[in-house]
Amino acid sequence: MVPARLVAMAERDPYSRVQYRRLIAWPERIRREWPLIDEVLGSGPSRRIVELGSGPAQHARALVDGGYEVVALDRSESMIESASEEPIPPELELVLGDMVEVDRLTSGTFGGALCLGNTLPHLGDEERLRRFAVALAKVLEPGAPLLLQILNYDRIHDRGIRSLPLSFRPHEEGELVFLRLMEPLPDGRVRFYPSTLLLRPGREPALTLERSREILLRGWRHPEVEEIFREAGLRPERALGGFEDEPFDPSESHDLVLVARREG
């Protein structure tokens, strides 16, 4: 029987059973993303960084290793628990809470901000995105950069994209397969279905569903994000199609990587 505490967590936390620490090849991902992360955040007025939607805090730990002080904020209790499984260095602070309230949940100011992965789409309407942008602008020092990465929802909506590439990770019985199906909706939202399968060659059945959730997201388009950030005093500087510094193409790029900077 599943413990009542875990059942309650799953009901309020859609990522309570999504094992991102196991399903993502973190060292390879961070090596690929680090040059741009360090370039952008290193250009800020201080090396005190806030990471928004920090998940299992793998990026936050990489930043600490790179000489930054980091406050890692995530609203998922299970992600904070996952991030706490390893010793926490003194330069890293884990905070449980909604990034819309970053100004209330943190103290002091920051020389930069990082927001990666599928974080921003959890802000499901313009009011929440505006509140987040205003709150973030309050805690960033003048000239502080924001590095944001989301999926390219311009492409997803316009083409009706239904899935992301599969991810495979080793498992003692075979391989874990991370399947991400989605359904773009006419109102700009996206039904997202993160699911984990276990592939066991030579067994019957060879493929079993380990876990699956349905999450309703907002598929923010590039112009929507830039407009709201600009109104909050976060001036867009660059729009890239990935971490290799390639220009953003709304019809072709897999991701939107946006660099913005606090005015003042």
Dump pLDDT digits (tens) for 135-185: 999 999 999 999 999 999 999 999 999 999 999 999 999 999 999 999 999
The pLDDT, as a whole number, for residue 4 is: 37
Q: HSE-up of 232 (CA within 13 Å, CB side)?
A: 27
Min mean pLDDT across 11-20, 34-43, 66-75, 206-215 is at 11-20
2: pLDDT strictly greater than 60: no
Give Cβ neighbours of residue 112 (< 8 Å, ≥ 6 apart).
40, 41, 44, 46, 47, 48, 49, 50, 140, 144, 145, 146, 147
Which is more confident, 170 or 6? Answer: 170
- State pLDDT tens for residues 54-77: 999 999 999 999 999 999 999 999
- Say if pTM beats, i.e. exceeds, 0.85: yes
The pLDDT, as a whole number, for residue 1 is: 34
d(CA 229, CA 150): 15
The pLDDT, as a whole number, for residue 6 is: 34
Q: Helix or strand or coil: residue 55?
A: coil
Residue of 196, 238, 235, 234 whose CA lies nearest to 213: 196
Paired residues of 70 in beta bridges = 49, 92
d(CA 137, CA 72): 17
52 close to 117: Cβ distance less than 8 angstroms: no
d(CA 16, CA 36): 30
116: pLDDT strictly greater than 90: yes
83 close to 54: Cβ distance less than 8 angstroms: yes
d(CA 126, CA 68): 32
d(CA 240, CA 255): 8
d(CA 177, CA 62): 25
Residue of 259, 205, 206, 212 whose CA lies nearest to 235: 259
16 close to 78: Cβ distance less than 8 angstroms: yes
Cα Rg of the chain (Å, integer): 18
